[in-house]
Amino acid sequence: MKEQKLKRILNSLKDKKVLVVGDVMMDQYIWGKVDRISQEAPVPIVEIERYTFIPGGAANVVNNICALGGKVYLAGVIGNDGTGKRLKNELKNKGVDTSSLITNPRRPTTLKTRIIAHSQQVVRVDREIKEEISEDLAKKLLGKIKRVIGEVDALTFSDYNKGMAASSLIKGLISLAKDYHKIITIDPKPVNLLKFKGADVITPNQVEAAQGLKEEVDVNEKKLEELGRKILKLLECQAVLITRGEKGMSLFEKDKVTHIPAVESLVYDVTGAGDTVLGTLTLALSAGADILSATKLSNYAAGVVVRKVGTATATPQEVKGMLK
């Protein structure tokens, strides 16, 4: 019965509409080989063979929702640069509504460049401005969001602490969600955790939950439950979902706690798995699923993604295969 229920939810996700707000970025991979060490410094010389560009951050949440058949509206800030143009074009090609994406010449598009040789990451270089967006920019974003919010079934905020979590934007976003009776989910960074009071569901990982409350990171089951209940109370949300990597997930609701084991896997690459959980959970809730079923479905979707190396997504067919 459980498998059939989750399959029904999975089949109902197609064409549900989600507004994704957050820190939009591009992940660049430079692939090459190393045959020698530089004479200038004790570092490897990487001979470049190819480049790969993948939408990242909040745009990876977009990727995950699209992969499951959902329709996405994206609100965020990109720079007036080649990376921003490439990112916007890639998203448009996926059918994403980018009308709420603002181009700001004062902020470069966040770009994370990873140089990889012989399947090993040599170095990562980040180009970004992390300071909070201005009040004026937040106001413009809220204006754009207000114009499209009536068309979507749910909202989600993907926080990578790159400046989008400005208090005025967060308060305005949660207020709009309540005014329009839309579900809103949040994947927060620790430094911004307490800003998201009033959201429906918060999805930090275990480390983020502890750091957000300035608690010890290495927690036992009892301490974990204290953390979850404390966040639930402080943020006055409907549920807190703490992801725990190989240990699975813990769902905190007002009257109960449910621990959900991770799907077994020989490969366990958690890169981007939080984006998969956020995207799947929000899409399932937008389709009318109860929070426990939506959580279980997101757990299976994450189980697909962690079996893949690097940033990845899960398709409905892959999740159905995992359900078996």
State residue 55 phi and psi, 5-degree precision. -55, 130
Determine the number of helices (DSSP H) and then strands (DSSP E) in the chain: 10, 13
d(C-alpha 135, C-alpha 309), whole Å: 39
Q: Is 179 an annotated catalytic residue?
A: no
Catalytic residue among 23, 97, 187, 275: 275
Burial 47-76 (b: 16+ CB within 10 A, else e): eeeeeeebbbbbbbbbbbbbbbbbbbbbbb
**Cα–Cα distance for residue pair 276/62, rounded to 1 Å:** 9
Q: Cα-Cα-Cα-Cα dihedral of 274, 277, 278, 281, to 10°?
A: -170
In angstroms, the Cα distances linking 292 to 84, 182, 321, 323 are: 37, 18, 20, 15
Alpha-carbon span 24 to 63, nearest angstrom: 12
- Catalytic residues, by residue number, are 275
